[in-house]
């Protein structure tokens, strides 16, 4: 998920009451909720799409869940001591307890991979013990409805606290509503995938893969991506195209033979990273007859540098006719 969502989750957990456990609890919760994204620093040393094979890996796995909160808690604890020595420590700050700082940082850090798992991008939850990708297919990577809920609840809770009212209950209620919202989206995804799997099975077609991808704003709809071994990736909108109505919308102008393209390509770090990351790869014919590797989840001809790899020396071999 985006960092605003992560930050709001950390802040809302604090407003639910945990911020009173120790001084500097809110920084621990908000920073901790974003901490696994330190892997974004890879953009400084990786070229092109090499970041696809690095991000959402080692800093999102079990070892990082333990070590990153420890580092954060240590820094915050040291900062508090440093301020105390200089005489600049705010008088209203609660006493700082290292154990509580670590626990809160740990809880916040765990919310990060939990949220990242919910979208179609994927996350390697077991890195470095396993490089397997996990996908929740539940929320769009930027969910404005979640923004509205979490943002309003945080503001309302802070406003109540400032006025001396009951401020924990609104935050706790918002957390419960958010969990219900996530569960509802999970059910919509499962229903969309099941509808297409059953439909194709009913007409005697065996598809290798069905991905129901949440849409921005329209959380009740799904972009369903269906893969056929001889037809490539096709797109439907659920529930509008629940039974396809005979309309097959292929992704890309002309789909090439992916295996042949990869076999002809000169090995390189960008190609390796893309193939490692890609869940729904396909090869598209470029205007000059060469090949561009794309992922059906993020098909956008304008996003060439982010989620695709150009193979200028490879010629497109079209898929065989059905």
Phi, psi angle pair for 212, to nearest 5°: -100, 110
* Ordered DSSP codes for 37-52: GGGGGGGGT--TTGGG
Do residues 124 and 133 make contact, with C-beta atoms less than 8 angstroms apart? yes
Looking at the domain assignment, is residue 75 inside a domain?
yes
Q: What is the pLDDT of residue 236?
A: 83
Looking at the domain assignment, is residue 310 inside a domain?
yes
Read off the pLDDT of each residue in 160-171 and give the average, rounded to a whole number.
95
Looking at the domain assignment, is residue 245 inside a domain?
no
Looking at the domain assignment, is residue 249 inside a domain?
no
Length of the chain: 322
Looking at the domain assignment, is residue 219 inside a domain?
no
Q: Which domain holds residue 86?
A: 3-136
Q: What is the pLDDT of residue 56?
A: 94
Q: Which of 105, 136, 167 marks a domain boundary?
A: 136
Whole-number Å distance between alpha carbons of 254 and 239: 27
What confidence tens digit (pLDDT) does each residue in 85-127 have? 999 999 999 999 999 999 999 999 999 999 999 999 999 999 9
* Ordered DSSP codes for 64-81: HHHHHHHHHHHHHHHHHH
What confidence tens digit (pLDDT) does each residue in 212-233 have? 999 989 999 998 888 876 667 7
Confidence of residue 246 (pLDDT cuts 50, 70, 90): very low
pLDDT at 12 over 80: yes
Looking at the domain assignment, is residue 146 inside a domain?
no
What are the start-end ranges of the H helices in 117-167?
144-162
Q: What is the pLDDT of residue 204?
A: 56
pLDDT at 234 over 90: no
Q: Which of 79, 102, 136 marks a domain boundary?
A: 136
Q: Token pair for residue 230?
A: 């001889």
First to last CA, the chain: 39
Q: Any long-range contacts for 232-241 (C-beta under 8 Å, 24+ apart)?
A: 232/282, 232/319, 233/280, 233/282, 233/296, 235/296, 236/196, 238/192, 238/195, 238/196, 238/212, 239/192, 239/195
Q: Which of 101, 136, 171 marks a domain boundary?
A: 136
Whole-number Å distance between alpha carbons of 68 and 131: 20
pLDDT at 67 over 80: yes
Number of domains comprising the chain: 2
Looking at the domain assignment, is residue 42 inside a domain?
yes
The share of the chain scoring above pLDDT 70, in percent, equals 89
What confidence tens digit (pLDDT) does each residue in 287-318 have? 888 898 999 888 876 655 678 899 999 998 87
Looking at the domain assignment, is residue 207 inside a domain?
no
Mean pLDDT of the chain: 89
Whole-number Å distance between alpha carbons of 252 and 301: 9
Whole-number Å distance between alpha carbons of 36 and 43: 15
DSSP state, residue 248: -
Read off the pLDDT of each residue in 47-57 and give the average, rounded to a whole number.
91
Whole-number Å distance between alpha carbons of 89 and 81: 8
């Amino acid at each position: 998920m985006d960092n605003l969502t992560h930050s709001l989750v950390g802040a809302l957990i604090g407003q639910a009451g945990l911020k009173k456990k120790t001084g500097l609890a809110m920084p621990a919760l908000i920073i901790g909720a974003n901490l696994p994204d330190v892997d974004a620093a890879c953009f400084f040393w990786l070229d092109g799409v090499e970041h696809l094979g690095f991000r959402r890996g080692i800093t999102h796995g079990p070892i990082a869940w333990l070590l990153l909160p420890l580092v954060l808690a240590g820094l915050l604890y040291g900062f508090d001591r440093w301020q105390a020595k200089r005489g600049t420590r705010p008088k209203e700050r609660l006493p700082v307890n290292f154990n509580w700082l670590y626990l809160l940082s740990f809880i916040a850090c765990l919310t990060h991979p939990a949220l990242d798992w919910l979208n179609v991008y994927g996350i390697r939850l077991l890195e470095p013990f396993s490089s397997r990708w996990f996908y929740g297919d539940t929320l769009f990577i930027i969910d404005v409805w979640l923004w509205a809920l979490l943002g309003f609840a945080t503001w309302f809770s802070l406003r109540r606290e400032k006025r001396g009212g009951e401020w924990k209950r609104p935050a706790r209620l918002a957390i419960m509503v958010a969990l219900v919202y996530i569960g509802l989206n999970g059910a919509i995804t499962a229903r969309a995938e099941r509808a297409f799997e059953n439909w194709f099975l009913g007409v005697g077609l065996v598809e290798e893969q069905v991905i129901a991808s949440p849409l921005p704003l329209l959380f009740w709809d799904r972009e369903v991506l269906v893969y056929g071994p001889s037809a490539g990736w096709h797109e439907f909108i659920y529930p509008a195209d629940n039974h396809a109505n005979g309309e097959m919308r292929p992704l890309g102008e002309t789909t090439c033979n992916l295996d042949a393209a990869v076999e002809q390509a000169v090995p390189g770090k960008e190609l390796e990273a893309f193939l490692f990351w890609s869940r729904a790869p396909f090869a598209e014919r470029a205007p000059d007859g060469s090949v561009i590797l794309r992922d059906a989840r993020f098909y956008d001809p304008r996003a060439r540098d982010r989620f695709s790899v150009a193979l200028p020396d490879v010629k497109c071999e079209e898929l065989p006719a059905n």
